[in-house]
């Protein structure tokens, strides 16, 4: 891997080899991303997928209810099973998944524990 940082009024610097993620994270925080090039061992520039248009479009259509449905199905749980775990009616789960009923902060925290993800996924 190769990281090249170009800074105005300097020659910049290069780091080559196996670069730990915490070092890459520090460099990205310290220097503007537009001044950094990260390349794989073959010299191909690595692209941050979160900067791609399709990813931005996908994120803009993401909803708390859609996330709830995704994680519930991912673990193979029915709406009834989830409702029982949460101590609510099955219809309540259905309404949350269809974004007809907001997911409270308390419920988001419970869902986060059930699915082992951040509560922010459901708010």
Query: Each residue's pLDDT tens digit in the chain (123 positions)?
Result: 666 666 666 677 788 888 888 888 888 788 777 777 778 777 787 777 777 787 788 777 789 999 999 999 999 999 999 999 999 999 999 999 999 999 999 999 999 999 999 999 999
Separation of CA 38 from chain center: 21
Per the CB < 8 A criterion, the answer to whether 7 and 24 are in contact is no
Distance, C-alpha 110 to centroid of its chain: 19
- The DSSP-derived string for 72-120 is HHHTT--HHHHHHHHTS-HHHHHHHHTTSSPPPHHHHHHHHHHHTS-GG
In CATH, which of 1.10.1740.10, 3.30.70.100, 1.10.260.40, 3.40.30.10 is domain 62-122?
Answer: 1.10.260.40
pLDDT at 5: 66
Task: Check residue 9 and report its DSSP letter.
Answer: T
Residue 51 has a pLDDT of: 74
**Which residues of the chain form CATH 1.10.260.40?**
62-122
Q: What is the pLDDT of residue 7?
A: 65
Give every CB contact of residue 75 below 8 A, 6+ residues apart in sequence: 115
- Provide the CA 16 distance to its chain's centre, in angstroms: 28
Reported as half-sphere exposure (CB side, CA atoms, 13 A), residue 41 has a value of 3
pTM, full prediction? 0.56
């Amino acid at each position: 891997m190769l990281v090249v940082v170009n800074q105005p009024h300097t020659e910049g610097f290069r780091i080559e080899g196996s670069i730990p993620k915490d070092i890459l994270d520090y460099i990205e925080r310290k220097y503007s991303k537009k001044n950094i090039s990260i390349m794989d061992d073959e010299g191909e520039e690595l692209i941050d997928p979160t900067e791609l248009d399709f990813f931005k479009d996908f994120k803009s259509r993401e909803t708390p209810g859609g996330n709830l449905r995704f994680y519930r199905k991912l673990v193979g749980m029915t709406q009834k099973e989830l409702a029982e775990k949460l101590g609510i009616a099955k219809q309540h789960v259905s309404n949350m998944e269809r974004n007809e009923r907001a997911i409270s902060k308390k419920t988001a925290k419970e869902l986060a524990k059930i699915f082992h993800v951040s509560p922010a996924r459901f708010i």
